[in-house]
Amino acid sequence: MEKGRTIIHLDIDAFYPSVEVLDNPHLRGRPVIVGGTVKRGVVSSASYEARKYGVHSAQPIATALRLCPNGVFLPVRMSRYRDLSRAVFDIFYRFTPLVEPLSIDEAFLDVTGSTRLFGSPVEIARRIKKAVRDETGLTISAGIAPSKFVAKIASDMDKPDGLTHVPRDRVRDFLGPLPLEKMWGVGEVSLKALTELKVRTFEDLSRVPVHVLERKFGKYGARMHQLSLGEDEREVVPQRSAKSLGHEVTFQRDIKELDTAKKELLSLAHRVARRLRRHGLTGKTITLKVKYWDFIQVTRSETIQEATDDGGEIYSIACALLEKTDTGKTPVRLLGISLSQLDSEAEGQLSLFRQEEDHSRRKNLNRALDSLYDKFGEKGILPGSLLKEK
């Protein structure tokens, strides 16, 4: 039986120009072109309005100027794009640890194991799109398919703000009529050679006997044939870009008592621990963030010997750190806990054998807690013991 994988490819729409519009709303609707400002530079990215003039990325700025003399030409602001990219990728990681970045603004997500928790793949894509829009103001297009190859083509079908779902039994109908230019990963030389064979669509290509393709393209010929049918077994290769993982809350009313703050830390600690476990991560450095009523912010950190994903342990360290702040004396408007120096479970498992039984007991308890959360939701029922504890 075939493995039923589900991949989502996500691609932020006209990323650089969209960020520029976000930061300067008066640019909305205008042809925005981001790239080297010197005449010899090239276009990094153009807004959809600018694309209507024939402006596209990698084009010389001088050409873009000629095609679109009224365009708004802006320099690349990489650090700002990186910040927003990070915010978007953080959203991806909420839904699966299997995130493979392709570039600053696109990624593959394997959501096969996420449906029990977050709903159907379409539902997951909708939630990601909504979170990206709500939290960053950007729009992102999604393609859902049984493979990376088809998912990437699908995300491009309905840009901007698109959502295209290609179920397994629709893959061939979906690809068939598409022009071969959509076949990403195929070089221009191969494309030209195919055009000479009068092969223009995926369907045309699928009809060319494999041995003909092999004669022309060597080993790659067979691969092309597979791709023309949408057959692609490549897995999503996760690359952890997350350097820290945490959560914070801003209170509706400032917190004045130390005990109240500790109670908040308890739920924060368990929430962060749960996210660590969901992503198969452990962390060594625990950082507490406190923002006082006057917006002055302090952080306190502690690094422990053995990396942890245990809420109780994180809580007790966070409490000790809290006592090193002015909480209780100065009203607090925000509390946050994050873990850094992250390790993935695969590496952690090596040291697991060295750890005491106590640890594995706690691990089982945590697993049980996680399934409760899965059932009742993060904001739903908290086990009674969690609230009584200290």
Residue in 7, 9, 11, 283 binding Mg ion, rule: CB under 5 A: 11
Active site residue 106: yes
The H or E element spanning position 65 is helix 61-67
Only one of the segments 7-15, 58-66, 93-101, 154-162 lies at the binding site for Mg ion (rule: CB under 5 A); that segment is 7-15
User: Which among 77, 78, 80, 64 has a CA at the least distance from the CA of 31?
Assistant: 64
Only one of the segments 57-65, 101-109, 314-322, 378-386 lies at the binding site for Mg ion (rule: CB under 5 A); that segment is 101-109
In whole angstroms, how close is the CB of 34 to Mg ion at the nearest point? 12
The tokens 């060597």 sit on which residue?
A: 218
Cα-flanking dihedrals φ and ψ of residue 60, to 5°? -60, 140
In whole angstroms, how close is the CB of 162 to Mg ion at the nearest point? 11
262-283 in b/e burial notation, b at 16+ Cβ within 10 A? bebbbbbbbbbbbbbbbbbbbb
Site mask for Mg ion (CB under 5 A), range 13-52, x = bound: --x-------------------------------------
In whole angstroms, how close is the CB of 205 to Mg ion at the nearest point? 26
Only one of the segments 58-66, 102-110, 224-232, 343-351 lies at the binding site for Mg ion (rule: CB under 5 A); that segment is 102-110
Only one of the segments 35-43, 99-107, 168-176, 241-249 lies at the binding site for Mg ion (rule: CB under 5 A); that segment is 99-107
Residue among 1 and 58 whose Cβ is closer to Mg ion:
58
Cα–Cα distance between 154 and 158 in angstroms, integer? 8
Give the side-chain half-sphere CA count within 13 A for 35.
28
In whole angstroms, how close is the CB of 26 to Mg ion at the nearest point? 23
Annotated active-site residue in 106, 306, 323, 357: 106
CA 194 to chain centre: 35
Cβ-contact 89, 238 below 8 angstroms: no
Residue among 105 and 110 whose Cβ is closer to Mg ion:
105
Give the torsion sign (CA, 279, 280, 283, 286). Answer: positive
- Contact call for residue 105 and Mg ion (CB under 5 A): yes
In the chain, the amino acid numbered 193 is A
- Contact call for residue 141 and Mg ion (CB under 5 A): no
- Contact call for residue 84 and Mg ion (CB under 5 A): no
Cβ-contact 225, 208 below 8 angstroms: yes
Tell me which residues are annotated as active site.
106
Question: Which spans of this chain sit near Mg ion (rule: CB under 5 A)?
Answer: 11-12, 15, 105
